[in-house]
């Protein structure tokens, strides 16, 4: 097996960047001035017009001038606030002049007759309407541009967050590239041990490679000894919170399932394993020789959820097959000082066999 088969280039695990949070949708606020402000200013201008006409022309309140000076106020407010300003200013100016005439005792008949037959006043009215229409068009454009500006500002804030996330991802990738020489050294060392003849060194190398590939918290390699029992030959990482190293004979249902089925087993795929709690391995894959005979099991605990994908599980199978090269012989040296285990003898079922164990062997309990 080649090195490229056993491990892709990303052997050095890197934490995935935090998910990018989209910027919240902007609730656009209109840039238009409220009608209350327009009405207040129109009323103030109307009172000024009424006061000046009452002071300067108390007899006819300025209706003797064509067009009436009040049209200047209407045009001014129309230019400022568009159609809203025109309507409110027209009502306020002529309403205020009418009230002023009534208060001063000026007859309204001649005044209205003079204003109704005045061509300059009619021209001033048309001019006020045109000014109000143009101002309204500009006002709508300003309002649209203001809303668009607010949306772009909020989008820019969201883009800043995206840029920050991309910078973090770039830094992580650059750090991974900087560690490329160390990764090559690591692969060379692992490959040398896996291609060697020492099954213990090969098992430890396979375990280191699997943990580096998946980012698991801990792992164990168990091989079948000459008595047909699985024995721990290599371990790495804190196996449990109370035990740094796994026992020599390990009761693990995930390992048991992988050993008996001669296939890779993920705890998340089997409800009975998922319900067994955190004391079981997350994934276990058998170590098989070229004939398909199970020589042992490679198991991992504390595997990140994203490392349980089918692609990475396939990589674990490749690592286990590579590990089998150094374990062609099942005659492992067993420490006879180890207390005998009450666990029954275990031998793997041959690939493709039915559920009944072969003659002269017992299945794993």
Alpha carbon distances (Å) from 346 to 167, 249, 250, 251: 53, 11, 12, 12
Query: What pLDDT is attached to residue 11?
Result: 38
At residue 326, does pLDDT exceed 90? Answer: no
What fold, for 5-9+199-327? Beta-Lactamase (3.30.450)
Query: What pLDDT is attached to residue 85?
Result: 85
Q: How confident is the model at residue 78 (pLDDT cuts 50, 70, 90)?
A: confident
Query: What pLDDT is attached to residue 207?
Result: 92
Query: What pLDDT is attached to residue 114?
Result: 63
Q: What percent of the chain has pLDDT above 70?
A: 74
Q: How confident is the model at residue 177 (pLDDT cuts 50, 70, 90)?
A: low
Query: What pLDDT is attached to residue 182?
Result: 57
At residue 101, does pLDDT exceed 70? Answer: yes
Query: What pLDDT is attached to residue 117?
Result: 65
- Dihedral (Cα; 182, 187, 189, 192), 10-degree rounding: -160
What are the residues whose beta carbons fall under 8 Å from the beta carbon of 82, sequence distance 6 or more?
Answer: 132, 133, 135, 136, 137, 138, 139
Q: How confident is the model at residue 57 (pLDDT cuts 50, 70, 90)?
A: confident
Most confident of 8-22, 113-127, 278-292: 278-292
DSSP secondary structure code for residue 329 in this structure: -
Query: What pLDDT is attached to residue 110?
Result: 65
- Tens digits of per-residue pLDDT, 203-243? 999 999 998 888 888 999 998 888 888 888 889 888 877 77
Query: What pLDDT is attached to residue 332?
Result: 46
The residue that leads in pLDDT, 135 or 62, is 135
Query: What pLDDT is attached to residue 5?
Result: 41
At residue 363, does pLDDT exceed 60? Answer: no
pTM of the model: 0.44
Query: What pLDDT is attached to residue 116?
Result: 64
Query: What pLDDT is attached to residue 348?
Result: 42
The mean predicted confidence, pLDDT, of the chain is: 75
Q: How confident is the model at residue 292 (pLDDT cuts 50, 70, 90)?
A: confident
DSSP string, 67-81: S-THHHHHHHHHHHH
216 is written with which tokens?
Answer: 């698991």
Query: What pLDDT is attached to residue 106?
Result: 76
The residue that leads in pLDDT, 6 or 58, is 58
Each domain of the chain, given as residue ranges in start order, spans: 5-9+199-327, 35-157
Sheet holding 294-301, edge to edge: 230-236, 218-224, 294-301, 283-288, 265-266
The residue that leads in pLDDT, 330 or 174, is 174
20 is written with which tokens?
Answer: 């990018």
Phi, psi (deg, nearest 5) at residue 134? -65, -45
What are the residues whose beta carbons fall under 8 Å from the beta carbon of 67, sequence distance 6 or more?
Answer: 118, 120, 121, 123, 124
- Tens digits of per-residue pLDDT, 26-54? 444 445 678 888 888 888 888 888 888 88
Note whether 287 and 294 are within 8 A (CB): yes
DSSP secondary structure code for residue 324 in this structure: G
Query: What pLDDT is attached to residue 284?
Result: 92
């Amino acid at each position: 097996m080649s090195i490229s088969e056993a491990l892709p280039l990303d052997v050095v695990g890197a934490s995935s960047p935090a998910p990018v949070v989209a910027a919240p949708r902007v609730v656009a606020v209109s840039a238009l001035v409220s009608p209350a402000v327009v009405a207040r200013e129109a009323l103030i201008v109307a009172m000024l017009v009424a006061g000046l006409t009452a002071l300067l022309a108390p007899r006819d309140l300025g209706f003797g001038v064509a067009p009436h000076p009040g049209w200047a106020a209407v045009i001014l407010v129309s230019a400022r606030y568009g159609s809203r300003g025109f309507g409110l200013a027209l009502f306020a100016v002529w309403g205020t002049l009418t009230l002023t005439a009534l208060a001063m005792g000026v007859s309204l008949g001649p005044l209205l007759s003079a204003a109704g037959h005045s061509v300059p006043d009619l021209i001033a009215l048309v001019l006020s309407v045109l000014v109000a229409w143009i101002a309204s068009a500009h006002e709508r454009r300003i309002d649209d541009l203001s809303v668009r500006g607010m949306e772009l500002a909020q989008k820019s804030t969201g883009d800043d967050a995206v840029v920050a996330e991309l910078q973090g991802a770039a830094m992580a990738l650059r750090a991974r590239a900087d560690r490329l020489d160390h990764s090559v050294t690591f692969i060379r060392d692992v490959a040398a041990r896996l291609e060697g003849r020492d099954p213990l060194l090969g098992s430890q190398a396979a375990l280191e490679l699997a943990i580096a590939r998946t980012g698991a918290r801990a792992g164990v390699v168990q091989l079948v000894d000459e008595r047909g029992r699985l024995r721990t030959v290599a371990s790495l990482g804190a196996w449990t919170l109370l035990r740094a190293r796994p026992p020599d004979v390990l009761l693990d249902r995930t390992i048991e399932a992988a050993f008996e089925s001669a296939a890779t087993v993920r705890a998340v795929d089997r409800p009975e394993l998922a319900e067994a709690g955190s004391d079981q391995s997350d994934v276990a894959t058998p170590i098989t020789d070229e004939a398909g005979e199970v020589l042992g099991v490679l198991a991992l605990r504390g595997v990140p959820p994203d490392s349980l994908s089918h692609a990475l599980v396939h990589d674990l199978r490749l690592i286990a097959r590579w590990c089998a090269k150094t374990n062609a012989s099942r005659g492992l040296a067993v420490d006879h000082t180890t207390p005998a285990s009450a666990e029954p003898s275990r031998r793997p079922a041959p690939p493709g066999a039915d559920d009944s164990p072969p003659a002269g062997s017992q299945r794993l309990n």
